[in-house]
Amino acid sequence: MVKRVLHIVSTMDRGGAETLIMNIYRNIDRKKIQFNFITHTPMKCDFEDEIIALGGRIFKIPSLGQLGPFSYVRDLMKIMSAHSYEAVHIHTDFQGGFPALAAKLSGIKIRICHSHSNSWPRGNQFMDRTALKIFQTLIKISSTRFCSCSSEAAEFLFGKRSFESSKVKILNNGIDLTQFENIQENRNEILRELDIPVGAKIIGHVGRFSTSKNQTFILKVLKKLLEKDKRVFALLVGDGPLKQQIEEEALKLGIVDHIRFLGVRSDIPRLMRHFDVFLFPSLFEGFGIVTIEAQSSGTPCIMSDMVPRSTDMGLGLVTYLSLDESIDVWGNKLLDAFKVERPNKQLVFEAISKNGFSIKSTINDWLELYGAS
C-alpha cells in the first residue's frame, strides 16, 4: 500500500524550500510513498502540473492570516481527516504549530515541523517576541519531530536548548547533480538570446523579489561597478512582490539597460553555467539552496554573512561579506571574483557529495522521518 505524506507550504513556486521538496519528490520511489500538498494561494503554482503528473494532489485553502486560527485549523482538519496520511511535514516556519495541532487532532502520528528561516519577519518589540514565543511553544507541544536546513535556522525556530540537546535533525538541502552535467551550450549563444554583447561580464542572482533577498543592494553594487567597467551586466532571475519596485529603482539609477529581469525560469543550471559570479546579499537566510546550485556550476559566489557558513562547499568559490561593508568593498570583491578560475567539474561534484548535499545522500534522511526508509 502506498504511504502518503502531506506537505504544508505557502505555495509551490520555484523558491528554495519548494525546489528542495520537488528534488526529493522526483527521486523517491513513488510506488511506495506519495506526496500531497496544502498551499495557501488560489493561483496556479509553478510546480502544480508536475506534482499532478507525479501522482500528487494539491489542496488550496486561505492562509492563517486570512482565516484566523480557529477556521484555519478547522479547514486543515477537514483535509487531513478525509485522507489517510502517514505523516504531515510542515514548511511554514513559525506558523507551523497550527498545522501540527490540526494533524494531532486528526490522529496523524508523525507531525514534522521544518525550519527554513533564521529570522523573525516582525520586529523585536516585547509583543513581537511574545508572539514568537507562543508560536514556538505551540510547535513544541503539537509536533513529534523537528528538522531544519541549518543550525542557524534550527536555533531560531526551536531554540538553542532544543538544538544543543540533539532534538533537531539537520536535513541538508540536497540537489540533483545530474542537472548540472553536460551543459555544452556556447556562451555567446545565450548572450545573444538575452541581447547582451559578447565579452560582457555577468553577475547572476536567483531569488524571490522580497525584502529578505535584498535586490536593492544588488542595484547599488551594479551602479558602482559600471563606473569602472561598462561591460558588466546583471541577470536577475525570479518573481515576487517587489519586482516592479526593483525595476523602477533600476530605471531611476540609470542602469536598467545593464539588467535583464528574467522572471521565473526552469533552466537555472543552464543560466548559472554562464554566470561569471553569483551575488547573494540576503538580509537573512535559513540556508540558501541556490548557493549550492551556483557552486555546482563552478560559479564564484559573493554572499552576505547572514547566509549560513554551511553553504560553503570548500571549493574556494565562496566569499562572505558583511552588509555593513561599503559598496566599494563589495564591488572590488566582485571584480576579483570575475578572475577566479572555475574548478574541475568532477572535483565540484565530489565536494558537493562529500558534504552531503547530493540528493542521493539526503533522500534516506527524509524517508526516515516518515518511517519509510
Q: What is the pLDDT of residue 132?
A: 84
- Report pLDDT digits (tens) over 4-44: 999 999 999 998 899 999 999 999 999 999 999 999 999 99
Q: Residue 213: pLDDT band by 50, 70, 90 thresholds? A: very high
| Mean pLDDT, residues 326-345 | 95
Q: Residue 231: pLDDT band by 50, 70, 90 thresholds? A: very high
Same domain, 184 and 163: no
- The DSSP code sequence of 253-268 is HT-GGGEEEEES-S-H
- The Cα 131–Cα 182 span in angstroms is 49
Three cell numbers written together for 198: 559578447
Same domain, 257 and 201: yes
- The Cα 143–Cα 162 span in angstroms is 13
- The DSSP code sequence of 303-368 is EETTS-GGG--SSS-EEEE-TTS-HHHHHHHHHHHTTPPPPPHHHHHHHHHHTT-BHHHHHHHHHH
Q: Residue 121: pLDDT band by 50, 70, 90 thresholds? A: low
Same domain, 83 and 108: yes
Instruction: Say if residue 243's pLDDT is above 90.
Output: yes
- The Cα 275–Cα 272 span in angstroms is 5
Same domain, 146 and 205: no
Under DSSP, the state recorded for 280 is E
| Mean pLDDT, residues 356-370 | 93
> Which is more confidently placed, 185 or 282?
282
- The Cα 98–Cα 65 span in angstroms is 12
Same domain, 365 and 348: no
| Mean pLDDT, residues 174-190 | 88
CB 162 within 8 A of CB 115: no
Q: What is the pLDDT of residue 122?
A: 63
Structural domain for 141, as ranges: 3-174+358-369
Same domain, 136 and 235: no
Same domain, 190 and 287: yes
Q: What is the pLDDT of residue 123?
A: 64
Same domain, 12 and 137: yes
CB 222 within 8 A of CB 258: yes
Q: What is the pLDDT of residue 155?
A: 92
> Which is more confidently placed, 59 or 162?
59
Same domain, 54 and 83: yes
- The Cα 291–Cα 271 span in angstroms is 14
Q: Residue 324: pLDDT band by 50, 70, 90 thresholds? A: very high
- Report pLDDT digits (tens) over 303-314: 999 999 999 999
Q: Model-level pTM?
A: 0.89
Same domain, 214 and 83: no
**Amino acid identity for residue 341 in this structure:** E
Same domain, 165 and 303: no
| Mean pLDDT, residues 212-221 | 97
- Report pLDDT digits (tens) over 43-101: 999 999 999 999 999 999 999 999 999 999 999 999 999 999 999 999 999 999 999 99
| First CA to last CA distance, the chain | 15
Q: Residue 318: pLDDT band by 50, 70, 90 thresholds? A: very high
- The Cα 254–Cα 185 span in angstroms is 31
Same domain, 120 and 259: no
Helix segments in the chain, DSSP class H: 16-27, 48-53, 64-67, 69-81, 97-105, 126-142, 151-158, 160-164, 187-193, 215-226, 243-253, 268-272, 289-296, 327-337, 345-354, 359-369
- The Cα 83–Cα 3 span in angstroms is 11
CATH number at residue 83: 3.40.50.2000
Residue corresponding to grid cell 531560531 = 156
Q: What average pLDDT does the structure give for the chain?
A: 94
For the chain, the domain total comes to 2
- The Cα 115–Cα 136 span in angstroms is 11
Q: What is the pLDDT of residue 126?
A: 75
Q: How many CB atoms lie within 10 A of CB 36?
A: 18
Q: Is 282 helix (H, G, I), strand (E, B) or coil?
A: coil
Three cell numbers written together for 116: 527554513
- The Cα 323–Cα 119 span in angstroms is 16
- Report pLDDT digits (tens) over 127-146: 777 888 899 999 999 999 99
